[in-house]
Amino acid sequence: LLARQERWESAARVYPRHLPIALADGDGPYVRDVDGNVFIDFLDGAGVLPLGHNHPELLRAAARQLGVLTHGLDFPTPVKDAFTQTQLSMLAPGLRHRTKLHFCGPTGANAVEAAVKLCQIATGRSDVVAFQGAFHGTTYATTALSGPVARKDAVRGGMSGVHFFPYCGPGRCPEGPGPDGCSRRCADQLERALTDSTSGVPLPAAVLIELVQGEGGSVPARTAFVRRVRELTRALGIPLIADEVQTGCGRTGTWFAFEQYGIEPDVIVASKALSGVGLPVALILYDAALDVWEPGAHIGTFRGDQPAFAAGVETVRIMRRDDVLGNVRARGRQCADRLAPLADHPWVRDVRGRGLIRGIELADPADGRPATEAAAAVQALALRHGLIVELGGRDDAVVRLLPPLNVTAEVVDTACAIVRDAVTVACR
């Protein structure tokens, strides 16, 4: 199967290039390959399956809807309304009352583009501020808005007016951390650029941020930095877009990551885990004051996946019933605790994360450079011992863990032991 896919779809081989398995089926935190090998799945469909694979109650909800209506374009339906109300109910009342919801084409990237378009139309400006190390998708605009330089070559000229600034998080301050972390310097640089008319950065239509960079290497932004960015954007009348495609739906221990920073964005982008089962949904939640766009300004055929809506309503019901957010926080602390001994390893630059986005950044002790090969070796060893992990960050030198949000303490212990052993064996 791997060889056949390589022949027909070689450009899409991102995951199986490092993880050479063909999938047969899944069950909770486990997947089985076509040879019958069972793995703990800490890739979790790229953070898409909050309750793991094939959760029976989610399957029942989706299946019930299959016999009713599968595709509804953008017509209102009872299940779409239930989904919309459920999503809005996850916002604090003050925010909810001034929030609008717009369904976008089925991917996270499409919703990021919708958010940027909305802010451009609402402000009458076109430039966008984004952050180094960010990932927002691989469409023309989102490629331009994302950090890694290599992948941008193909779309040079695709979207102009994107300005990148340092992202303040562990290991990210380009000048090295200041006495109280790097929050002031990164925010100062942004403030200078936005307020000094000679800086070459026109007042942007939006500032676009991931509060925890996901593909960028599981990097939580520092709180002081995020608060300064919010104060600055508010003072200058710049809408702040939080890309919560990966951090949303409880991944960091609150429904949205912004809640932990004590800020409110003007636009929130959500997708990945919304349906709970991997059926595609993407949306933006935005301040009604920005609602200046005409009907049809951002549409698309696949904005009405009814089984996705049904499963999404059920996902939230189960997450509330089973206190899954509490589990995310507890299992996140457990991951931090079990992985902490790695911090003393000479190849480990940083062990970090928030909730159930965790990362172990590897660097060569000889020259401090990102240890790309060592990370790939850790991933391969983990796979051999029954654990699927992702790689991310600069030069793919961060081993990333994205467990399902209802993962048990036992599975976390097993997975962390595999990671610790893999680092010990692969990095020496």
Where along the sequence are the contacts to ligand PMP (CB under 6 A)?
46, 107-109, 112, 135-137, 210, 214-215, 243, 245-246, 271
Nearest distance, CB of residue 44 and ligand PMP, angstroms: 12
DSSP for 190-237 reads: HHHHHH-TTSS-PPPSEEEE-SEESTTTSEEPPHHHHHHHHHHHHHHT
* CA-based radius of gyration for the chain: 21
Q: Which is nearer to ligand PMP, 185 or 400 (CB)?
A: 400
Smallest distance from ligand PMP to CB 213, Å: 8
Integer Cα distance of 323 and 121 in angstroms = 40
- Closer Cβ to ligand PMP, 210 or 395, answer by number: 210
Residue 208: what are its φ and ψ, rounded to 5°? -115, 120
Q: Report d(CA 51, CA 39) in Å as an integer.
A: 16
Q: Which is nearer to ligand PMP, 282 or 316 (CB)?
A: 282
174 and 144 Cβ atoms separated by less than 8 Å: no
- Cα–Cα distance for residue pair 218/422, rounded to 1 Å: 19
**Residue from 112, 90, 108 nearest 250 by CA:** 90
Q: Which is nearer to ligand PMP, 65 or 139 (CB)?
A: 139
Nearest distance, CB of residue 115 and ligand PMP, angstroms: 10
- Calculate the dihedral angle through the C-alpha atoms of 211, 215, 216, 221, rounding to the nearest 10 degrees: 20
The residue (of 215 and 396) whose beta carbon lies closer to ligand PMP is 215
Q: Whose Cβ is closer to ligand PMP: residue 257's or residue 310's? A: 257
Look at the block and give the residue holding tokens 């310097």. Answer: 185
- Write the single-letter amino acid at 261: Y
Compare residues 279 and 422 and give the one whose CB is closer to ligand PMP: 279
Give the residue nearest to ligand PMP (CB): 108
Instruction: Quote the least distance from Cβ 143 to ligand PMP, whole Å.
Output: 10
We find the least distance from the C-beta atom of residue 108 to ligand PMP, in angstroms, to be 2
> Phi/psi at 283 (nearest 5 deg)?
-155, 165
Q: Give the shortest CB-426-to-ligand PMP separation in angstroms.
A: 25
Least CB distance to ligand PMP at residue 274 (A) = 11
